[in-house]
């Protein structure tokens, strides 16, 4: 994928940025959609209109959606492990003590901040209600826009901070200053630490004539964090009118205050004359950080049910491809054996005609011919495997995945799988009964278990494989 599309959605607008190129990235599209007071269906319609108007090829691009910081809960935790799998399990167990939701009601991802020599890790967990995550996902799905990742605007600001060549190693920060709201992110070059979205923007700062309220919000964001003494605080504003705020912050905080000019920092395509004016009126700092930063972002809040569906789809695709390759290999082997058998028959005829007196050699050729016929029969029986793979793939419900599959010498098929819905297992058994490939379909067991992704059902099905015409005929 040579292009990246980033959408930043909040209550009032959707900002869109497209970057094209692998080595040298260039901004090739930008737009802002007003969505205040619109229903989700209307928002999907506005997005679809944007795709059509801009001529976007969403299915050929990497699409990332940024959700507002205000919709998330951030929790800092110290846990006794360095392994990500163990940390994720610990977070799942402990996070319910820190949020007003049950575990199954939220989507969670985390980033490791620091690791200690005694085996502990400090992490920050990003938590969003599952209902909110699904709402954003459905808005873009309704517009026929395939989303690869859902993350938060704070991550985009941190990635923009990392792109600054003069960013120091110690704690610093970055502020995105828009017209009516702003976002503050405290971070290191290696990780982001805290963030806060506030309803104070450039308009209010200019009206007040000072950045006093903004400084209060910065102090709240810092919380118990050690100050950013000696660090750098970057202010991002396309309007270029941040002198008052910069002076107040430099006076109040022991840190250097610098401004990032987005228009001068990134390459913009020459044909974007209309968009350049719009890009100068709104801030797009978090979009730039995601678009020009590394992929994937360190925090992914894509709903678990969507991830599971993607994994199952990929597994089914791999199974079909494997079946096709296996069938091709069997057919090639059968053809090779057929040619070898023809050669053996010719050689056998010559031996019988010219060397009838040589009985031992004739007996040896006859034994070889019998072995070839046995091998041929074996391959004929196995040629039905590709058909079985395709039939099983056709019958599998979308939310059901296989764990193992085997065929015994007596043509008994056994497979085990996992499903989040018991009804899918019963439907699969019914469909197998109706299939021309299977007979005597038995559901041996269904065991219900609870995992970190929710409640799942493990099951086992055995059945006989119906004989296919021609597989048991004798070779002449």
Same domain, 191 and 248: yes
Residue with tokens 């923007």: 201
Same domain, 183 and 311: no
Among residues 246, 281, 302, the one where a domain terminates is 302
pLDDT of residue 475: 38
Task: Say how far apart CA 138 and CA 420 lie, in whole Å.
Answer: 21
Is 82 within 8 Å of 121 (Cβ atoms)? yes
Query: Is the residue at 138 inside a domain?
Result: yes
Tens of pLDDT, residues 214-271: 666 666 666 555 544 457 888 887 655 555 565 556 555 566 788 888 888 899 888 8
Phi, psi (degrees; rounded to nearest 5) at 416: -120, 150
Same domain, 235 and 210: yes
Query: Is the residue at 474 inside a domain?
Result: no
What's the rounded mean pLDDT across residues 86-101?
Answer: 93
Identify the band that residue 81 occupies on the pLDDT scale cut at 50, 70 and 90: very high
Please state which of the ranges 124-133, 180-189, 369-378 shows the lowest mean pLDDT: 369-378
Phi-psi region of 34 (alpha: psi -120 to 50; beta: other; left: phi over 0): beta
Q: What is the DSSP string of 200-244?
A: --HHHHHHHTS-HHHHHHHHHHHTTSPP-TT-EEEEE-TT---HH
Positive or negative, the CA dihedral 26, 29, 35, 36 is positive
Give the length of the chain.
Answer: 476
Range with top average pLDDT, 104-108, 341-345, 346-350: 104-108
- DSSP-derived 3-state class of residue 147: coil
Range with top average pLDDT, 89-98, 187-196, 204-213, 445-454: 89-98
Query: Is the residue at 144 inside a domain?
Result: yes
pLDDT of residue 327: 74
Is 429 within 8 Å of 461 (Cβ atoms)? yes
pLDDT of residue 471: 46
What's the rounded mean pLDDT across residues 204-209?
Answer: 69
Same domain, 232 and 338: no
Residue that wins the pLDDT comparison between 50 and 333: 50
| Structural domain for 167, as ranges | 3-302
Task: Say how far apart CA 309 and CA 323 lie, in whole Å.
Answer: 21
- Token representation of residue 219: 């102090």
pLDDT of residue 311: 79
Is 221 within 8 Å of 195 (Cβ atoms)? yes
**227: CATH:** 3.30.420.380
Is 196 within 8 Å of 261 (Cβ atoms)? no
Among residues 255, 285, 302, the one where a domain terminates is 302
pLDDT of residue 461: 93
Query: Is the residue at 414 inside a domain?
Result: yes
Q: Are strands 121-129 and 73-79 parallel, antiparallel or unpaired?
A: antiparallel
Residue with tokens 């059902």: 457
Give the distance from CA 275 to its chain's centroid.
30
Residue that wins the pLDDT comparison between 390 and 364: 390
Same domain, 194 and 96: yes
Is 194 within 8 Å of 223 (Cβ atoms)? yes
**How far is the CA of 316 from the CAs of 36, 354, 435, 468, in angstroms?**
41, 57, 19, 24
Same domain, 234 and 110: yes
Task: Say how far apart CA 296 and CA 316 lie, in whole Å.
Answer: 24
**Number of neighbouring beta carbons within 10 Å of residue 457:** 18
The per-residue pLDDT of the chain, averaged, comes to 83
- DSSP-derived 3-state class of residue 92: helix
What's the rounded mean pLDDT across residues 444-450?
Answer: 88
Tens of pLDDT, residues 253-268: 566 788 888 888 899 8
Percentage of residues of the chain with pLDDT beyond 90:
38
Residue that wins the pLDDT comparison between 240 and 193: 193
Query: Is the residue at 470 inside a domain?
Result: no
pLDDT of residue 474: 42
Same domain, 268 and 318: no
Same domain, 359 and 315: yes
Query: Is the residue at 433 inside a domain?
Result: yes
- What is the number of domains present in the chain? 2
Please state which of the ranges 14-23, 78-87, 198-207, 212-221 shows the lowest mean pLDDT: 212-221
331 pLDDT above the threshold of 60: yes
Among residues 286, 302, 318, the one where a domain terminates is 302
32 pLDDT above the threshold of 90: yes
Same domain, 265 and 393: no
Same domain, 198 and 87: yes
Closest alpha carbon to 135 in 62, 60, 71: 71
50 pLDDT above the threshold of 90: yes
What's the rounded mean pLDDT across residues 134-154?
Answer: 95
Same domain, 370 and 239: no
pLDDT of residue 454: 78
**420: CATH:** 3.30.1360.100
Query: Is the residue at 394 inside a domain?
Result: yes
Query: Is the residue at 415 inside a domain?
Result: yes
Same domain, 13 and 58: yes
């Amino acid at each position: 994928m040579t292009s990246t599309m980033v959408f930043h959605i909040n209550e009032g607008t959707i900002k869109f940025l497209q970057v094209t190129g692998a080595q040298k990235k260039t901004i090739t599209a930008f737009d802002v959609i007003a969505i205040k007071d619109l229903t989700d269906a209307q928002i999907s319609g506005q997005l679809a209109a944007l795709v059509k108007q801009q001529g976007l090829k969403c299915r050929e691009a990497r699409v990332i959606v940024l959700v507002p910081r205000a919709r998330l809960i951030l929790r800092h935790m110290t846990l006794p492990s360095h392994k990500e799998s163990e940390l994720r399990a610990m977070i799942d167990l402990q996070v319910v003590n820190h949020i007003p939701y049950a575990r199954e009601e939220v989507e969670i991802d985390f980033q490791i901040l620091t690791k200690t020599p005694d085996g502990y890790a400090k992490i920050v967990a990003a938590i969003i209600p599952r209902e909110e995550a699904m709402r954003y996902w459905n808005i873009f799905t309704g517009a026929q826009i395939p989303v690869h990742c859902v993350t938060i605007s704070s991550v985009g600001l941190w990635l923009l901070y990392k792109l600054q060549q003069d960013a120091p190693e110690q704690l610093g920060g970055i502020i995105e200053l828009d017209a009516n709201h702003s976002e503050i992110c405290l971070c290191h070059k290696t990780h982001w630490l805290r963030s806060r979205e506030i309803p104070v923007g450039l308009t209010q700062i200019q009206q007040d004539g000072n950045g006093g309220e903004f400084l209060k919000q910065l102090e709240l964001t810092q919380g118990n964090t050690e100050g950013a003494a000696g660090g750098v605080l970057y202010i991002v504003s396309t309007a270029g009118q941040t002198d008052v705020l910069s002076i107040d912050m430099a006076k109040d905080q022991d840190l250097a205050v610098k401004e990032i000019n987005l228009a001068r920092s990134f390459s913009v395509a020459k044909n974007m004359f209309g968009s350049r004016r719009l890009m100068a009126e709104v801030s797009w700092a978090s979009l730039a950080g995601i678009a020009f930063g590394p992929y994937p972002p360190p925090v992914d809040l894509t709903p678990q049910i969507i991830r599971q569906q993607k994994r199952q789809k990929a597994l089914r695709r791999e199974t079909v491809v494997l079946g096709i390759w296996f069938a091709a290999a069997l057919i090639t082997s059968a053809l090779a054996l057929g040619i070898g058998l023809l050669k053996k028959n010719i050689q056998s005829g010559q031996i019988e005609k010219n060397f009838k007196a040589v009985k031992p050699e004739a007996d040896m050729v006859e034994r070889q011919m019998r072995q070839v016929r046995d091998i041929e029969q074996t391959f004929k029986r196995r040629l039905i495997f590709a058909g079985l793979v395709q039939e099983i793939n056709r019958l599998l419900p979308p939310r059901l995945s296989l764990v193992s599959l085997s065929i015994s010498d007596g043509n008994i098929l056994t497979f085990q799988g996992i499903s989040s819905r018991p009804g899918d297992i019963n439907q699969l058994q019914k469909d197998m009964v109706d299939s021309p490939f299977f007979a005597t379909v038995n559901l041996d067991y269904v065991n219900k278990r609870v995992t970190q992704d929710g409640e799942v059902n493990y099951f086992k099905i055995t059945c006989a494989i119906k004989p296919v015409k021609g597989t048991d005929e004798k070779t002449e």
